[in-house]
Structure 1
Amino acid sequence: MDFSLSDEQQLLVESVERFVRNEYPFDARRKLAESEDGISAKNWGTLAEMGLLAVMVPEDQGGIGGSMVDAALILEKLGAGLVLEPFMPTAVLGVRALTAGAKGDVRDALLGQVAEGALKFGFAHYEPRGRYARTRVTTRAERSGEGFTLSGVKAVVRNAQHADKLIVSARTAGGERDAQGITLFLVDAGAAGVSLKSYMTVDGGRAADVTFEGVQVGPETVLGEVDGGAALLSDLLDHGAVAVSAEAVGAMKALHMLTVDYLKTREQFGVAIANFQVLQHAAVDMMNHMEQSRSLAYAAAMALAEEDDATARARAAAACKAHTSRSGRLVGQAAIQLHGGIGMTEEYAAGHYFKRLTMIEGEFGDHDHHLDRMVAMIRRAA
């Protein structure tokens, strides 16, 4: 499998690196995380001007026409800067939902707005007490004339308070764990009956629990087929899992570099602690976990972009997220141990990377969840 970058991809990577270097020094990021809104309108506009929000938008819709691989390249660099703006929910999940499931006129109208930075998305699927179950959906969508009425609660919706539209899974038929009977909707975040309980997450980001009380939506808001949204939902969850894995790779790499620099400067017994072999081994283990995660993340991104078989795509995404969830935890714990007490101070970056990796560990399913998925797919194929 060829992991070398094209000239265009190399330029893309360099442009994102410049953005992070210029706009996301650690102190500026920390102040932004503590601000009321938690993101920067200026930074979001810059992402749009750079064309990053349009990376997965088709060329005939005013976008770049790139793939999940290009998005992963961007996310790795954004992860290195702990960027707070909602790139993944919008430029990955939002665009994927529109291109794969929206009706033609809705798709055409909204994709251009995403590319321009005029539209942000939130992904509202997981529910209280639902853990990572992909088809456990209790939010109901009842027929109401030509449209539907939505009622239910979604938990920990990342950047929901910044979103203009929410991608919402709801049950239009069947029992609460049935795959058949799930339908996806595109819901205005400001629609009557939509309410948010917003909060800051442990990594400095923003999330909200979203309640839908008799929210009226029209037939044009349906993504994919009524009662047949499970496949599209699974596809979006796999894209999300690979996206946050790529972000985790960037965070792990930055944390590893920060740790190595610290080992070179911190002295004990009159010498830099980087000279102690056991610490060298720990730093190498961190790098190995990061590189393995990177390989799996790009293999999965390539599978999502190029593989026709849905099972092969799902298997690649599950392998990627299972490994990255475990590696992110190990790298984060090793970094804190090697730093000592300074590693968890608010004024030092290491603890913030650890917190973000801890959040990513559970986003879109943790290590055990994706191992179970892989086992189930292997058994079905046997």
Structure 2
Amino acid sequence: MSVTSISSKNKNLLWAVSAGRCEYAGCNKVLHTDILTNKKCNSAYIAHIVGDESTGPRGDVKRSKLLANDINNLMLLCDTHHRMVDADEITYTESYLLEMKRQHEERIKRITDIAPNMSSEIILYGANIGVNNSPLSYQSANEALLYDYYPASDYPIELGYKNASLTDDMDAYWITEEANLFTQFNLKIKPRLMQGNTDHYSVFAIAPQPLLIKFGVLLNDLNNVKVYQKHREPSTWKWQTASSDIEYILREPDDKTKVPVLVFSMSATVTYDRIQKALGNNTSIWEITINGAPNNDFLKTEALLSDFRRTVRHAFDKIKSYHGYTGLHIFPAMPVSASVELGRVWMPKVDMPMTIYDANKEKNDFYMTITIK
């Protein structure tokens, strides 16, 4: 128990830098409001990292008195964690607690550094993939926004069709899901555009690739859009900052006089015999892939997604220059964010109509799903 009378200045400063939340790693409990009654209260304890008495927790004969009223030696804690850190000096060493304090206060600083105009509406779009429901949540999306944006609302804009009983091996699935996506978009997002709304949107989507491409087509008119990618390692939606040596490769067919096909071999390899199985041999197969082996977790950075947009734009223009304004058959095996951006890159008044295929073992491989004109 503290015997030092901590100055009002340092008490106020500690409340400010901690944002009135418990600084114990992983707790973050609000200490100024009762979670049950929502009434204002003070449930905080100000704890000394180096005890203010030499005989106290982590106490020192010389340093205890010197640091007793030092803001750098104080932590704001809830009752539970205040008791824990004082009862176990072996686990809760001075260096351990200082690191907790540093991480918490740096996080609060980064969050509060976000400019007032950097709000973003969160859009969640999910549809069943096989028998699996879409694992989207507002909380995980919220975490991915920080520290660039803050949520514009306590609730996301949800476009998915909840409790859908259909699966993606049924023809009715594609008709129903495409219609629902179109309807939800027109109800929840299009009115904002009609009113000249310039909100920023953060997009989180998990669905079969043809639907993601369609979703991207609908988003086309939204300029202030940031599309996120679900990573496996680490398990997060937040874009990573590590540099990458990944490059996109556009492979052209030798014979450019047949039915045009654009294959995306990025998250997995799509062999040409699978294309011919669906369309026959009268095909000119173009392909966008990556250097190295295709894999489902390569798209780690926003820069790579921007590179993908440029590659697709170049491919659309080049294919059209050879084949004219005819139908383009799309066979995708790529990350979810790339699927959405493919749709956003496509321009309805300029680009070739797209017929999109989906791989499904119940349908014995690729089969036609959605046409975009």
Tell me the TM-score range normalised by the shorter chain.
Answer: under 0.3
- The answer to which structure, 1 or 2, has the higher relative contact order (CA under 8 A, 6+ apart) is 1
Larger radius of gyration: 2
Higher percent of residues as helix: 1
